Amino acid sequence: MRQAVEPTPKSSGVFSWWRVLCDALSGKAYDYTQGSLTRAVILLAIPMVLETSMESLFAICDIFWVSKLGEQAMAAVGLTESVTTLYYAIAIGLSLAATAMIARRVGEKNQAQAAEAGVQAIYIGVLLGVLTGVVCWFGAPKILAIMGASQEVWEMGTPYMRIVLGCNVVILMLFLNNAIFRGAGDPAIAMRALWIGNGINLVLDPCLIFGWGPFPELGLTGAAIATVIGRGCAVLYQFRELRRGTSQIRLTGAVWRWRPALMLRLVRVAIGGMGQLLIATTSWVALMRIMAIFGDAALAGYTIAIRIVIFTILPSWGLANAASTLVGQSLGAKLPDRAKHAVLLTGVYNMTFLVAAVMVYWIFGEQLMMMFTQDSTSIEIGKRCLHIISYGYVLYGWAMVLTQAFNGAGDTATPTLLNFLACYCVQLPLAWILSQTLRMGPDGVFWAVMVSDALLMVLAWVAFYRGAWMGRDI
């Protein structure tokens, strides 16, 4: 394993920023518990943002090609994606626990236990992935029916959902392995894994959808196959790097032993992580069900708009992940003030980024929608979705950083409670009341999302300044 290097001396000007950029992209080892916090945030944030940017680019390109197949195909993807987010909730929940525990052990300079925590997380992920994959392979037709899919969407979406959800073990492994890298302070490896996986998918997507070159024309099913192949290749790369060893951990030999006690500790922390994501994602599934009431065109417009939102949310989430790693390692090194300052600094950066995104939504909202559909109804609904949701966008950026700070400290219970209050107690009832009772239509759903995002930020800010998260032991 590479040894961590001492913080480099300060320099100024363009050369200094270029040097930091090169260090971040190359994955140069760095002790994040010492030295400049600004430098630490940047070194972690650059690869994390680029990692999630590639994922968001995949989401945009995927819906771009699928949109050529018509509104029914886009609706099928939207419904499948809303269910896939349930898997994301499980994967991210486990990832939050793995990152928190590994970062804490790395901060304590206990690399052996960090590696053991990573292995147990992998075991849990494989078990869950296989079991749920089998269930969803056979249950895909029923799931689409429950989601309110029309007959055309049901016929087109069944094989797509079977492949995407049936092979979800690759999703779990992709998230978990990258969580290990992030917790260890090696985000550049996680970044490269996403580049490989999504790069392959971006090439295969049009080839398998439209039958370019020697490839068969598989339509929407081809998009699902391309996704699984791309992510599978990324997982193979991750395991190769984990075996070779990073700057802090190496998964070889005795660390692969089954450790039930450690696995149970991971599950306890992960339950909170899963809970907060399951609350958010089941809320999204419910919103998709409400949107389905307004027809395929409205559902397609909403699906496209949400993909555009994801394009900026994922990089923003990557920036928030930097706060999670810094909090975990700082608390492990017994530096709570450094952890707190890291969160505030990351929050300012995230807010600045999302202000720019909001301006793009307002100026180019219609043009963005027209890149994916020419249906006037879908364009208008998607544009209004972008405009209304953007009102609470900056506040949600702060909420992401604050909740990731709690997760990095191992306090996954607090974000779970906050998400329950914001999503279940406010977002869903408000979405139904505004869209149905007050007959605001799709706009009612969008306003409900905006209000709940703002509420989440306020609640997270109060909990952050109470400071109980800094005393969490994992």
For residue 5, what pLDDT is reported? 43
More confident position, 15 or 68: 68
For residue 234, what pLDDT is reported? 94
* Domain total of the chain: 1
d(CA 362, CA 418): 29
For residue 15, what pLDDT is reported? 55
pTM of structure = 0.79
d(CA 389, CA 385): 6
For residue 27, what pLDDT is reported? 72
| Other Cβ atoms within 10 Å of 359 Cβ, number | 11
Residues 153-195 pLDDT 10s? 888 888 999 998 888 899 889 989 999 998 888 888 988 998 8
Please state the rounded mean pLDDT for residues 4-23: 59
* Residue 222 included in any domain: yes
- Whether the per-residue pLDDT at 58 is higher than 80: the answer is no
For residue 6, what pLDDT is reported? 42
* Residue 285 included in any domain: yes
Please report which confidence band the pLDDT of residue 309 belongs to, taking 50, 70 and 90 as the band edges: confident
Please state the rounded mean pLDDT for residues 42-53: 83
Lowest-pLDDT choice from 15-19, 26-30, 78-82, 414-418: 15-19
CA 378 to chain centre: 26
d(CA 374, CA 112): 56
- Whether the per-residue pLDDT at 3 is higher than 50: the answer is no
d(CA 431, CA 449): 8
Lowest-pLDDT choice from 9-23, 74-88, 330-344, 457-471: 9-23
* Residue 33 included in any domain: no
d(CA 186, CA 317): 17
Please report which confidence band the pLDDT of residue 462 belongs to, taking 50, 70 and 90 as the band edges: very high
d(CA 174, CA 159): 22
| Two tokens, residue 407 | 């997760």
Residues 357-387 pLDDT 10s? 888 888 888 888 888 888 888 899 999 999 9
* Residue 44 included in any domain: no
Q: Which structural domain range is residue 449 located in?
A: 50-471
- Whether the per-residue pLDDT at 1 is higher than 70: the answer is no
- Whether the per-residue pLDDT at 11 is higher than 90: the answer is no
Given a contact cutoff of 8 angstroms between Cβ atoms, the answer to whether 86 and 161 are in contact is no
Please report which confidence band the pLDDT of residue 278 belongs to, taking 50, 70 and 90 as the band edges: confident
For residue 14, what pLDDT is reported? 53
d(CA 82, CA 294): 17
For residue 247, what pLDDT is reported? 65
* Residue 255 included in any domain: yes
For residue 345, what pLDDT is reported? 92
What mean pLDDT, rounded, does the chain reach?
86
For residue 230, what pLDDT is reported? 92
- Whether the per-residue pLDDT at 348 is higher than 70: the answer is yes
Please report which confidence band the pLDDT of residue 52 belongs to, taking 50, 70 and 90 as the band edges: confident
- Whether the per-residue pLDDT at 425 is higher than 90: the answer is yes
* Residue 147 included in any domain: yes
d(CA 257, CA 119): 8
- Whether the per-residue pLDDT at 141 is higher than 60: the answer is yes
For residue 2, what pLDDT is reported? 46
Given a contact cutoff of 8 angstroms between Cβ atoms, the answer to whether 325 and 182 are in contact is yes
For residue 440, what pLDDT is reported? 92
User: Is the dihedral angle over the CA atoms 5, 7, 8, 13 positive or is it negative?
Assistant: positive
Residues 73-105 pLDDT 10s? 888 887 887 778 777 778 888 888 999 999 999
Do you know the residue count of the chain? Answer: 474
Q: At residue 143, what is the residue type?
A: I
